């Protein structure tokens, strides 16, 4: 069943969403899949690198912003799947996830629908989810910078696939955009009757 335009997808209690890519963001971009080994780092392109090695940088960046929720915006939504992917994160981050940009109930699960979703540029995948989810403020952390809608490019924190969140400049930009998103939220205390 598809959600209607008037019923946004769940964002939890937050009005701030961080769209999180994985490859090139929380670990090096050189990720491979093998039917026996599963998902792993390329031993030639990413020697000495490990999956999810930069997650502590994400935790540190999000600590001052407990209201920020996460949406998985990665091919990992499809393989190995949203649930299996989220379980790879520390418990504190698992609790922040409210969904992924790929939804079986929205996009269907047949091979044609999956291929169609995969062929859509990442920026369009994220923008389509923003339009369904309707967060008050959002940021995307991604190393795929091609074909983002010009009207929302300022929401993108672009990573270099070799360094991802290990780059201080990326972390600084993420913090600045999280602070800006937080400032755009209404002050709940001022809206409460006295």
Give the pLDDT score at 2.
37
The pLDDT of residue 96? 97
**SS3 of 133, please?**
helix
Q: Are 150 and 144 in contact (CB under 8 A)?
A: no
Ranges of the chain whose pLDDT falls below 70 = 1-14, 104-113, 116-117, 185-194
Is there a contact between 72 and 18 (Cβ–Cβ < 8 Å)?
Answer: no
Q: How far apart, in Å, do the first and last CA atoms of the chain sit?
A: 42
CA-based nearest residue to 97, from 123, 125, 58: 58
pTM: 0.85
Cα gap 42→28, rounded to integer Å: 9
- With CA atoms as reference, report the closest residue to 103 among 65, 72, 136: 72
- Alpha carbon distance 185, 117 (integer Å): 31
Q: How many CB atoms lie within 10 A of CB 6?
A: 6
10-54 residue pLDDT tens: 554 458 999 999 999 999 999 999 888 899 999 999 999 999 999
What six digits make up the tokens of 90? 């520390």
Mean pLDDT over the full length of the chain: 86
Cα four-point dihedral sign 84, 93, 74, 68 = positive
Cβ atoms within 10 Å, residue 40: 14
């Amino acid at each position: 069943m598809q959600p209607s335009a008037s019923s946004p997808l769940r964002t939890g209690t937050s009005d701030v969403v961080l769209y999180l890519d994985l490859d090139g963001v929380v670990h090096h971009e050189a990720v491979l899949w093998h039917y026996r080994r599963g998902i792993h780092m390329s031993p030639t392109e990413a020697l000495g690198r490990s999956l999810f090695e930069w997650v502590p940088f994400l935790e540190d960046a999000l600590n001052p912003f407990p209201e920020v929720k996460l949406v998985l915006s990665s091919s990992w939504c499809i393989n190995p799947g949203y649930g299996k992917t989220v379980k790879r994160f520390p418990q504190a981050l698992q609790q922040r996830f409210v969904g992924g940009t790929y939804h079986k109930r929205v996009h269907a699960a047949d091979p044609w629908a999956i291929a169609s979703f995969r062929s859509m540029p990442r920026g369009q995948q994220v923008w389509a989810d923003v339009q369904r989810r309707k967060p008050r403020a959002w940021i995307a952390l991604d190393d795929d910078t091609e074909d983002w809608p010009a009207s929302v490019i300022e929401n993108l924190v672009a990573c270099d696939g070799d360094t991802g969140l290990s780059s201080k400049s990326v972390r600084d930009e993420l913090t600045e955009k999280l602070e800006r998103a937080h400032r755009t939220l209404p002050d709940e205390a001022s809206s409460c009757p006295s």
